[in-house]
Amino acid sequence: MPKQFEKSLLEAIEAQLPENLSLAKELESRLGVTRSAVYKKIRGEASFSVAEMLQLARSFGISLDRLAFEAGGNQLFQYSNGNPEPQSPEEYLGRIQVQLMELLSEGNPQMWHITNDLPFFWYFFFPEICSFKLLIWSYISRGVQGDAQDFEPQRFAEQYPQLDAIRSEIAKLYIQVPTTEIWPAQFAEHMLIQIHKTLEAHVISVDAARVLLDKMQELLNLIAQVANTGIKQTPDGAQGASVQLYLNELILSGEMIFIENESGTTVHLPLDIPNFLSSSQTGFNVHVRQYMDAVVNASTRISKDGELQRQRVLNMARKRLQFFREEMRLT
């Protein structure tokens, strides 16, 4: 992590301490870490985690937003399109696979994900749904219409020999990352509308639409199982890390992903598939993490102990699925 922001935080803390109190001793007490670990952080030999910075800011009543502003209001972002744009679904998924591998390569990986749709990682559990979402990418973002004629999931996947292996690996990597996710109440609506509209436009066949709706039903069943236990799992029952699922019916912003491990933090802001803006700047990332914590505090938990809300939102999604079956005359 860049050190200037951490230096500013330490200076703000030290300015509040009476002369008879040691900065190192106060940090040791507040953070619950060893004295040697504290000295490494003070000297800049080790970084504070975002959670530690938030804890210190709360303890001493310091505005991290103000520190970020004073450090410089302009934030630099990396645009993913600086690299050559992926030319195939395999290459697109391959990049996601590499990013997850990098996240897991360092200790204590964490992910926070706010979205106005179902987080896209869930689609990788089902090859048919994954193929359909990649079709939408090819058809709209890349303008490739050859893939989008009488679409059938199996036939689409056969065009790309490595596609299913990469998809499966992404699903295995994703369940290893402890995650906090904030969803909208109608998290399945976007996918259902896409199926409906592509069927109307004769982009996909009736059989393909039926398969996709069946897989959406399986996805809802998987969500119910994961939400009940608070543990990620694949459709075949393989379990992974913990997941906290929250429902927020007031979020109007778009998608935002915050990831953290021992090497630092990164914020991803999806721009247009497959491109996104990324920031590794401490001040901005701490602000995003504060925002996410605030959203979580204003949300309703639907994993583990949130049974009533969980049942309500899943029943609503099942009713909408049945509505679309009838609307498309697939019952």
Burial of 61 (0-12, 13-18, 19+ CB in 10 A): exposed
Mean residue pLDDT of the chain comes to: 84
What digits encode the pLDDT tens for the residues 15-44?
A: 888 878 888 888 888 888 888 888 888 888
pLDDT at position 82, please? 47
What digits encode the pLDDT tens for the residues 177-196?
A: 999 999 998 999 999 999 99
Query: What average pLDDT score do residues 135-162 get?
Result: 70
Percentage of residues of the chain with pLDDT beyond 70: 86
Give the pLDDT band of residue 201 (cuts 50, 70, 90): confident
What digits encode the pLDDT tens for the residues 262-275?
A: 888 899 887 666 67
Provide the H-helix boundaries in the chain.
3-16, 23-31, 35-42, 50-60, 64-71, 89-105, 127-136, 153-158, 163-174, 189-200, 206-229, 282-297, 307-327
pTM for the model: 0.78
pLDDT at position 258, please? 93
Q: CB under 8 Å to 271, separation ≥6 — which residues? A: 79, 80, 277
Q: What DSSP string describes 220-252?
A: HHHHHHHHHHTEEE-TT--EEEEEEEEE-S---
More confident residue, 137 or 307: 307
- Alpha-carbon span 219 to 135, nearest angstrom: 19
- Alpha-carbon span 63 to 57, nearest angstrom: 7
More confident residue, 128 or 26: 128
Please choose, from the candidates 313, 97, 129, 125, the residue with its C-alpha nearest in 3D space to the C-alpha of residue 237.
125
Please say whether the beta carbons of 268 and 289 come within 8 A.
Answer: no
pLDDT tops 60 at residue 84: no
pLDDT at position 182, please? 95
Give the pLDDT band of residue 86 (cuts 50, 70, 90): low
More confident residue, 8 or 78: 8
Give the pLDDT band of residue 123 (cuts 50, 70, 90): very high
Q: CB under 8 Å to 29, separation ≥6 — which residues? A: none
pLDDT at position 216, please? 97
More confident residue, 203 or 148: 203
What digits encode the pLDDT tens for the residues 42-75?
A: 888 887 877 788 788 888 887 766 666 555 554 4
